[in-house]
Amino acid sequence: KRPAGAPDRALARPVTKIGVVGAGLMASQLALLFARQLMVPVVLTDIDQARVDKGVGYVHAEVDKLLQKGRISPDAANRTRALVTGSVSKEAFADADFVIEAVFEELNIKKQVFKEVEAIVSPECILATNTSSLSVTAMAADLEHPERLVGFHFFNPVAVMPLLEIVRAPKTDDAVLATAFELAKGLKKSAVLVKDAPAFVVNRLLLRLMGEVTAAFDEGTPADVADNSLRPMGLPMTPFVLGAMVGLPVAQHVQESLHAAFPDRFTVSRNLQKLLDHGVTSIWATQNGATEKGP
Ligand code: CAA
């Protein structure tokens, strides 16, 4: 069944090579997912060789874990490893037909990335952003081909979270959108089409929860009490543990974007800032072991 709002799948274009800009937490999980599920070559790029090596190394280590658990055949493991390569140069995207960025959550950085990518790829190459809170429309504004940009927003941990938010900007082409839905199907994700609105749908809900927990913390409730009080509600992860997994700087950025968009509904916690200032972004992770499986 076609997801609500998805264009006719006959419009979808083949994707035979994927570029991923960034080799951090999200980017390397994406590279693994694309290679494993779609069996197409995936090239990861980042600003230096050490980051690139770390991203590719993460993919190899995760494939090894899957192999040990018997979740992947030795043949598929070898093919998946071989499909993921890294480069410090975006020239590696020259023959890609789908390039997704998963770099730091800052509009100007993402715009600059797309400018550099557009100078290299073919005019048909689809561009996608994994942004969780920024405007896809604003990101498309200076593109030569704004109709080729689509929001393709995954959730952490990418391997296990089934949802994918696909974001249509005003100029996004139907063929681009149809390709995004076909990719989602190949990736075995449940895709929903969402409007290009601040933080789309899911992060608005998550950030309301996180906002209330950080507000309780700001008001003097001990952090662990505020956070753990949600455990009996049956949440798989409490807000601070989730914040630790995605990274507190990312969580803070999303809080700031949502506060700017909806000042009455979203707050920015001064204590989250305090945690960041003191460089203790892993505090919740070390208390809860939340990032043990991350890169
Ligand atoms: N990478 C790969 N696989 C992982 C993983 C990771 N980081 N974390 C867990 N898994 C896998 C485990 O290996 C395990 O797989 P197997 O069954 O093959 O062994 C499976 O997930 C279940 O893991 P566990 O049994 O250890 O733990 P669990 O039952 O507590 O489930 C969870 C783990 C699925 C992550 C669960 O805690 C959960 O659903 N958490 C909520 C996650 C969430 O809300 N994500 C949204 C984040 S917000 C975001 O991403 C937005 C943004 O844009 C910033």
Distance 245 CA to ligand 1 centre (A): 10
User: pLDDT class for 293, splitting at 50, 70, 90?
Assistant: very low
Cβ neighbours of residue 14 under 8 Å, at least 6 residues apart? 97
Is 206's C-beta closer than 6 angstroms to any atom of ligand 1? yes
ipTM for the predicted complex comes to: 0.95
Residue 291 has a pLDDT of 39
- Comparing 7 with 100, which gets the higher pLDDT? 100
User: pLDDT class for 281, splitting at 50, 70, 90?
Assistant: very low
Distance 157 CA to ligand 1 centre (A): 5
Is 159's C-beta closer than 6 angstroms to any atom of ligand 1? yes
Distance 161 CA to ligand 1 centre (A): 7
Q: Relative to the CA of 153, which ligand 1 atom is closest?
A: 53
Q: Relative to the CA of 293, which ligand 1 atom is closest?
A: 7
Matching residue, tokens 């972004």:
281
pLDDT tens digits for 11-21?
Answer: 999 999 999 99
Is 234's C-beta closer than 6 angstroms to any atom of ligand 1? no
Is 153 among the catalytic positions?
A: yes
pLDDT tens digits for 173-226?
Answer: 999 999 999 999 999 999 999 999 999 999 999 889 888 888 887 888 877 777
CB neighbourhood size of 20 (10 A): 30
Retrieve residue 255's tokens.
């809080």
Is 166's C-beta closer than 6 angstroms to any atom of ligand 1? no
Residue 178 amino acid letter: A
86 close to 45: Cβ distance less than 8 angstroms: yes
> How many angstroms separate the CA atoms of 170 and 160, rounded?
31
Q: What are the backbone angles phi and psi of residue 149, rounded to the nearest 5°?
A: -95, 135
Q: Which of 60, 145, 153, 253 is catalytic?
A: 153
Is 201's C-beta closer than 6 angstroms to any atom of ligand 1? no
Is 67's C-beta closer than 6 angstroms to any atom of ligand 1? no
Cβ neighbours of residue 52 under 8 Å, at least 6 residues apart? 23, 44, 45, 46, 86, 87, 88
pLDDT tens digits for 116-151?
Answer: 999 999 999 999 999 998 999 999 999 999 999 999
- Atom 10 of ligand 1, nearest CA residue: 160
User: pLDDT class for 278, splitting at 50, 70, 90?
Assistant: low
> Residue 45: beta bridge partners?
21, 87
- Atom 27 of ligand 1, nearest CA residue: 236
The string of DSSP letters for 213-244 reads HHHHHHTT--HHHHHHTTGGGT-SS-HHHHHH
Beta strand 98-101 pairing with 18-21: parallel
If you average pLDDT over residues 270-287, what whole number do you get?
58
Q: Which domains does the chain have, with CATH numbers?
A: 9-195 (3.40.50.720), 202-288 (1.10.1040.10)
CA dihedral angle for residue 192, residue 268, residue 231, residue 26, rounded to 10 degrees: 50
